[in-house]
Structure formats: C-alpha cells, structure tokens
Amino acid sequence: MSGWTEAMKQIIEEELKWDIADTTIEYQQDGLTNTNYIISSGNRKLALRISGGNTGRLGISREAELAAMQAAADLGIGAKVVYFSTETGHMVTEFIDGVKWNDAEAGTDVNMKRIADTLRKVHALPPVPYTFSPYQDITDRIQFAARHQLGLPEDLDEFLENLAAIQQDRASNGQQQLGLCHNDPFANNFLDDGTVRLIDWEYAGMGDIMFDLACVCSAYSRPQKETFLACYFGHDDADTLHNLEQMSYVVTFWNAMWAVLQTFDPKPVVPAESAEPAANYRQIADWMFARLRESL
C-alpha cells in the first residue's frame, strides 16, 4: 500500500472498480504541475494524474481540457479519457506506449513535418467554450506574484511594454489566426507510437495558433524555424517568421511567470521513494527573464 494517497485509492476502487491489492503503481518523474503515475491491473495499463495544488492559479479550465482531450482522442492524436473530474483535475487515460521526444528528436526534418501535420489537425478541431489568452494569464500571474511577494524583475515594466506592443500589433494588423490550441506543445508533450500524439491538454482553449507554433519552435534554430513554418503553412516568409518571433517572446514571458508562481509551492507532493529533486523554479524564471532581456 506504500505510495497510495486517499485520492488515488478513491479513483482506483470507486471509479475504476479495481482491487487495489492487485494494482501496481509506477511513479512518473516528468510531471511539473501535477503528479503522474502508470497503474496496472492484469493486462490493463492506464495513466493516472493527480492534480497539483497550484493549478487553480495557472489559468486552467478543466472543462476545456476535457473537451479538447475528447476531440483529440476521437481524431486519434490523443489518449482516450477513462475518468476525469473537472472539480479536482484528477484524471485517468488509456496508457499510450510511445516514445516521449526530446528537443533534438522534435527538431528532425521528418518529425517537424509530423508535428506540423498534427497541429493543423488540432487547430481545425471544433471550438471549445474557453478562450486562452497568454496576455491575460501573464497579467493575472504578475498580480498574484506581487500580492504574495514572490519576486519580480526590476525591468518588468519594460517587458510589459513590449508585450502590449506585440498584443496590439497582432490584433490591429489581423495577424491572428484563431483555432483550438494545445498551448503547451513542447517536445516532452509529444508521444510517438507510430502516430504523433499530444498529451497534457491543461491549457487547451481557443486562441492564436501562433502561440502553439512558437512553443514548438522554442528550441529550434532559425533554419529549423523556417523549415517548420514551411511544413505548417506550405511556405515561409519574413512576415511569418516575424510573427513567430513576436509570439516566442509571449511564450517565454508566459512560461517565466508560470515558473514564478510555482515558487509559491516549492515542495510538490511526490512519493517518498522518489529520489528526483524538485525543480528549481526560481532559477527557471530567472533564465527566462534573461531571454526576454536579450530579445528587447
């Protein structure tokens, strides 16, 4: 019984109707916001997520997440939902036995095309009743950080001025292309089991598709970005690359403030047997703020 929490036992016994004595659990060490496990009983293997304590402050809509996940599963690019509580955020999905990519694997010519094909399908999915705004998320996170004295950079006003200029430019010049977005499609959220699948749909919502593309391109070189844009749009040009670079700034700012908020709860609950240290969120935030300065 070591390692089981009450929430996990409730899901196993009451929702899945499994005998907990016959259930095995394997902690997954790649979760940052939540705690993730693989659970098995007989020949059945599922993925279990126990929602983290900071999710309520991170602009997450569980209803939108569930709707997006169901649409993605129907399309064959996501995991089938077995159990989902929009109240707690706890979730069980079918286990996908795939390879989770690193940045190098996500940056090969073949995989860039596969990612582009997958994201075009995502962006064409039916709308969900939730709008994702990284600009509003950043504002909300800054306000929370200020209230709780989490530490903000001295040049925050300069960052915000550039953010406002980007937001205005994209809105006034009709640059935004709206669709259902994943909003967190970094390399580690892709699984390759012969099909490119996306996991972790916490931030899903209707929004600017360029945010998704900028997430994908966050670790790419300029030539890789040009290749990826050509894969997605069928062409690449200076204007599209400029739009991507603008949104890359927004993605970095959004992630920097995500990391700042994580410092409010620096000791996430993980099983005692895990030897994996907690992420240094302050260090992550400072590194991202440094990237923002370089791009000004």
What residues pair up with 191 in beta bridges, in sequence order? 100, 197
Q: Does any domain span residue 43?
A: yes
* Residue 271: per-residue pLDDT: 46
Say which residue the tokens 């989490």 belong to. Answer: 150
What is the structure's pLDDT at 53?
A: 67
Checking if the pLDDT of 44 tops 70, the result is yes
- Domain membership flag for residue 2: no
- Would 1 be classed as within a structural domain? no
Residue 108 covered by a domain: yes
Q: How confident is the model at residue 279 (pLDDT cuts 50, 70, 90)?
A: low
Is residue 25, in this structure, part of any structural domain at all?
Answer: yes
Percent of the chain with pLDDT over 90: 81
pLDDT at 5: 86
Number of structural domains (the chain) is: 1
Q: Is the pLDDT of residue 30 over 80?
A: no
Residues 6+ apart with CB under 8 A from 77: 118, 121, 122, 195, 196, 197, 198
| Residue 275 pLDDT exceeds 80 | no
**pLDDT averaged over every residue in the chain:** 91
pLDDT, tens digit, for every residue of 125-163?
999 989 999 999 999 999 999 999 999 999 999 999 999
What pLDDT shows up at residue 57?
76
Residue 223's nearest CA partner among 234, 213, 207, 236 is: 236
The reply to whether 261 falls in a domain is: yes
Average pLDDT over residues 198-221: 96
Question: What are the tens digits of pLDDT across the range 81-96?
Answer: 999 999 999 999 999 9
Rounded distance, CA 185 to CA 214, Å? 9
What CATH number should be reported for the domain holding residue 260? 3.90.1200.10
Q: How confident is the model at residue 177 (pLDDT cuts 50, 70, 90)?
A: confident
- pLDDT of 277 higher than 60: no
**Residue 109 within a domain:** yes
pLDDT at 31: 64
- 145 found inside a domain: yes
Lowest mean pLDDT among 13-27, 46-60, 98-112: 46-60
pLDDT, position 276: 44
Number of separate helices (H) and strands (E) present in the chain: 10, 10
pLDDT at residue 77, as a whole number: 96
Is the pLDDT score of 178 beyond 50?
Answer: yes
The confidence score (pLDDT) of residue 265 equals 67
| Residue-range definition of the domain harbouring residue 139 | 7-295
Distance CA 184, CA 270 (A): 23
